[in-house]
Amino acid sequence: MLRHLPEQHCRRAFPRHRALGKAQGATPHLPKPALPLYPAHNQNETEQKRTRRVPKTALTDYARLEATGLWRARPDVQRVEVIVSIGEATLTIADRNERPLAHWSLPAVHRQNPSRRPAIFAPSDAEDEIETLELEDDDMIAAIEKVRRAIARRRPRQGRLRMGLTVATGLALFAGAVFWLPEKITDQTVSLLPDATRKAVGDRMLSRVRQFAGEPCGATAGRTALAKLGRRVLGEAPGRIFVVPSGVETTAHLPGGVILINKHLVEDTPEPDVPAGFILAERLRVERHDPMRDLLDHAGLVATVRMLTTGEISDDALDDYARVLLTASPEPVDDTALIARFDEIGIRTTPYAYEVDATGATTLALIEGDPVPIAEASPLIPDADWVAIQGICTD
């Protein structure tokens, strides 16, 4: 089958026919191809614009592009026509023989005249930048802008990182201010308060409690006997123990070593071991939680700072805490710790256990673990003192 070739190819393919034709004055007859397989290229168009596409790069809508442009190496030289090609992350500028003249980093490429034509690019946005590149090819300009945006999105954002660190630091400081700082200020305040200030706050609290619990019972003989019971249970520094008509479920404690006892614990019980057990349990609660700390935790940060700086606390804060204190049920005390303390003092736990729960179901451990058998028990105080305590609320 005869392959059709363009005329210029035919002249190279059949030199003998050409010579023969000239000699004989005739032109050899060659079949004219219907369509050329290798159409001639337009040299002028090639010189003005060369655009070809080969395997994919970072662009998703573009393949590797090449276009002509005008490159100026420095301001004092003429512009040179160059071939510009765009790759994964670089812009390559080459001469007509495809010898590289410069390589620009795409993320750093800066456009000096946005939205104007011809587009003028520079290797960076530095004010003293001397290189420039002029482009008119729409595809190339769009590709450069798109690749620069894509690379910029993949680069770490220092501004965002800085903002993230700032926000994280702010949140940490805020969390510290909300959770850590109040606790530390309260700890500092409680540790610095002298005993005189604690006693003064306890006296003020006691005066506020009178509004809810009534006036503490004050029969002289009863108060003297109650002080003896306190020393028997708590040692030589028993603090101050008051019997109140109401407001307290069983016992409660205030700052300054004040313990409150509901009068039914002395009027309606058969032996002093019952109020002695409640006094001892309340002392364990005081040792576990500083009453002044409980007050400041309830009062809040502002009241704590005021206490730290001036040694004062408002009546409103004391009134509010007194209401909460007198309406709350006593915090449970660990049975093992309680039995150990009863054993140390030499007090029976059984009378106290049955007063807490008349059935003994919830206080069975105290009953079975009583450290003082009834046969070995001795009176805590003389009967006359116990009688005086029972009549402390009667004049």
Alpha helix positions (H), the chain: 7-13, 15-24, 43-48, 138-154, 158-175, 181-192, 195-213, 220-234, 264-267, 273-288, 291-299, 301-310, 315-327, 335-345, 350-356, 364-368, 383-390
Structural domain contains residue 161: no
User: Is 158 a residue whose pLDDT tops 90?
Assistant: no
Residues 88 and 10 in one domain: no
Residues 90 and 232 in one domain: no
Q: 134 lies in a domain?
A: yes
Task: Write the DSSP string, 72-141.
Answer: ESSTTS--EEEEEEE-SSEEEEE-TT--EEEEEEGGG-EESSTT-SSEEEESS--TT---EEEE--HHHH
Burial class (CB in 10 A: 0-12, 13-18, 19+), 205: buried
Tally of domains within the chain: 3
Average pLDDT over residues 240-260: 91
Identify the pLDDT of residue 162: 73
Poorest-pLDDT segment among 80-84, 159-163, 189-193, 258-262: 159-163
Domain limits for position 324: 188-390
Residue 169 in any domain: the answer is no
The whole model's pTM is what?
Answer: 0.58
d(CA 340, CA 349): 10
Rounded CA Rg of the chain: 50
Judge whether residue 46 has pLDDT over 50. Answer: no
pLDDT digits (tens, 9 = 90+) for 167-213: 888 777 776 666 677 788 888 888 888 989 999 999 999 988 888 88
State whether 121 and 267 are in the same domain. Answer: no
Q: What's the pLDDT score for residue 176?
A: 64
Judging by DSSP bridges, how do beta strands 119-122 and 240-244 pair with one another?
unpaired
pLDDT tens digits, one per residue of 343-395: 999 999 999 999 999 999 999 999 999 999 988 888 999 999 999 999 999 86
- Per-residue model confidence (pLDDT) at position 177: 64
CATH label of the domain that carries residue 128: 2.30.29.30
